[in-house]
Amino acid sequence: MKTQDRADLCYPHIYNTSCKKPSSPWTEVVLVRIILSLISLITVALNLLVIISVSHFRQLHTPTNILLLSLAVSDLLVGFISMPGEIYRNTSCWFLGDNICFIYNYLCFIITAASVGDMVLISIDRYVAICDPLHYQSRVTEGRVKVCVCLCWFCSIVYSILFIKDGLIQAGKNNSCYGECVTTVDIIVGTFDLFFTFIAPVTVIVVLYMRVFVVAVSQARVMRSQVTAVKLQLSVKIANKSELKAARTLGVLVVLFLISFCPFYCVYLAGVESFSSYSVLAVDYLSYFNSCVNPVIYALFYPWFRKTVKLIVTLQILKPGSCEAIIQ
């Protein structure tokens, strides 16, 4: 009987302190790994296409697209780091050691914080473009947006130290047994995080987009009521339509982000212990799945993305001067 018990342990040679192996059926584990690994690969591939598109073609070097590039980088890291790590951690014992566990948890916190920051920046960008279009070109420049993106990632790196400070003192301090990779957050830090990465950003995003929606509706009515216009007015009208279309597309992006992340934070707000392990795992993967959906939104609403994907897949970007191609 004791031999059988040891066979169920991650580290049979340290019987007293070893974790038990996951008890899920073998077929279920394989099926979960295949499905989630496929989603992970699709997430990496799609976001890599977005990154190559915006980085390679100079015509796409706009403030809004730089923000989408930053979001695509965080989404790619979700597919490349967060998803595989969660698959491994939840379907087998953690054999990579405490130091790798510490690095993995730290990177996951950084990626999540950066994604939230990118969404706030996208909302601000659309707010200025729609509500103050006359000053948009002068206020929202490529240089300023790049600085904001760098600050977003820097702040995410510094902010995430709050959650792994115990690991800085002793890696694996929060693990209850060998073969486990967890990180615990005390009530004070958890409340702080709830406000700064959920309540405050969501409030800012919702308020800004409500304002954008009101202004967009009023502008649409004005454009419909205008019957005659000179050439200059016509060009302004076309620009307004373009900004309104971008606002609608990015609005869909933001709404899906909120739908994906709200259950995650609601579960942790109510207390993880109140839900089954499968429920907690489901909301985790729902938040990660958002990273796979974002590029699909670009493909549906942005003709330039469909065109650049075709150029990338057919390897036409390898031709000299391809970065100067007319995309829009």
- pLDDT tens digits for range 144-158: 999 999 999 999 999
What is the per-residue pLDDT across 182-210, written as a single tens digit (0 to 9) for each? 877 777 877 788 888 888 888 888 888 88
Residue 9 forms beta bridges with which residues? 20
In this structure, how many other beta carbons lie within 10 angstroms of the beta carbon of residue 200? 13
CATH code, residues 25-324: 1.20.1070.10
pLDDT of amino acid 52: 93
Residue 18 forms beta bridges with which residues? 178
Name the pTM for this structure.
Answer: 0.83
What average pLDDT score do residues 82-100 get? 85
pLDDT of amino acid 274: 52
What is the per-residue pLDDT across 221-250, written as a single tens digit (0 to 9) for each? 665 565 444 444 444 444 455 555 656 666
User: Which is more confident, 225 or 295?
Assistant: 295
Confidence of residue 324 (pLDDT cuts 50, 70, 90): confident
The single residue listed with the structure tokens 């390679």 is 56
What average pLDDT score do residues 37-48 get? 92
pLDDT of amino acid 228: 45
- Domain assignments of the chain as residue spans, ordered by start: 25-324
CA distances from 291 to 14, 123, 288 (A): 39, 18, 6
Q: Cβ distance 285 to 261 under 8 Å?
A: no
Residue 9 has pLDDT above 50, yes or no: yes
Which two tokens mark 156? 């995410």
pLDDT of amino acid 87: 83
CA distances from 234 to 107, 120, 238, 240, 305 (A): 48, 32, 6, 10, 26
Residue 161 has pLDDT above 80, yes or no: yes
What average pLDDT score do residues 25-37 get? 78
User: Which is more confident, 81 or 239?
Assistant: 81
Q: What is the chain's alpha carbon radius of gyration, rounded to the nearest angstrom?
A: 23
Single out the residue of 145, 84, 62, 106 nearest to residue 291, CA to CA. Answer: 84
pLDDT of amino acid 144: 93
Residue 86 has pLDDT above 80, yes or no: yes
Confidence of residue 280 (pLDDT cuts 50, 70, 90): low
User: Which is more confident, 13 or 230?
Assistant: 13
**What's the whole-number average pLDDT of the chain?**
79
pLDDT of amino acid 205: 84
Lowest-confidence pick of 131-135, 217-221, 251-255 = 217-221
